[in-house]
Amino acid sequence: MAEGMTRRTAVTVGAAGLGSLAGAAAAPAGAAIAVSPTLFSIPQMTIPVVGNSAAFPVRRVYCIGRNYAAHAREMGSDPSREPPFFFQKPADAVVVVQPGTTGTIAYPTLTKNFHYEIEMVAFLKGGGRNIPIEKALELVIGYSVGLDMTRRDLQDAMKKEQKPWEIGKAFDQSAPLGPIHLADKVGHIAKGRIALSVNGAVKQNSDLSNMIWNVAEQIAQLSRANELFAGDIIFSGTPENVGPVVAGDAMVGMIAGLPDLTVKVAGPLPV
Ligand code: MN
């Protein structure tokens, strides 16, 4: 049953893709076309939705950079002059952690400076191009607490060499997050405390209202660079006082109105 649904989804996407390539002569989006079987199957990352037996399938994971003024300053840039920019993590970097449990992520390879960044995450149930700010929140199905884990030394080294700093951000298990809380239930969260503690000591402590670009503005901006789709998720930036964790540390991420996210750092991945 699940396999059949997956194949039907692939057919629809394939037809739409042909449509954009072949122009007016193409089959209408959604029309059935012959699709070859795949050599092997790969898992679809999903995130549980509170109060719904159906899970959220992840398409892309977007993250905004330097979206709180004090964090932009600690990263060495001027928040007043910086337009928003985005990067991505792979969908399978997501690690789902249920409230009331402690999730585990490996201490990643190649780094000696593994940083936390507490962030609110927004989940899209629809998309589009050039989305107006005033329509953007209609596309958000809900929110969760997430961590944009970062190999800061690798990010810094790549910045210095003017190379892409993907290796510092887009790595295995770099996006732990909690289940999705529907906007219908918790509202569109725009203010309230966002904080992170490590081993019980508060490290980051701010308010969501300190975002330079709010979630609606982020969606509007991002939709100018890429067409957005249902299944896309957006990490909405971290406040100041990012810092390192080591194996054995336990992080607790907190956002007012959402349950805490608890994540422990295990030893390194086996080589
Ligand atoms: Mn971040």
pLDDT for 169 beyond 70:
yes
> pLDDT, tens digit, for every residue of 197-211?
999 999 999 999 999
Q: Higher-confidence residue: 271 or 239?
A: 239
pLDDT for 23 beyond 60:
no
Beta bridge partners of 255: 194
Superfamily of structural domain 44-268? Fumarylacetoacetase-like, C-terminal domain (3.90.850.10)
Ligand 1 centroid to 125 CA: how many Å?
22
181 closest CA partner among 141, 126, 142, 125? 142
Ligand 1 centroid to 3 CA: how many Å?
35
Q: What are the sequence ranges of the domains in the chain? A: 1-42, 44-268
* 264's tokens: 């422990």
Ligand 1 centroid to 29 CA: how many Å?
36
Ligand 1 centroid to 203 CA: how many Å?
15
> pLDDT, tens digit, for every residue of 117-155?
999 999 999 999 999 999 999 999 999 999 999 999 999
Distances (CA, A) of 20 to 151, 227, 231, 250: 38, 13, 20, 47
Ligand 1 centroid to 149 CA: how many Å?
8
pLDDT for 184 beyond 70:
yes
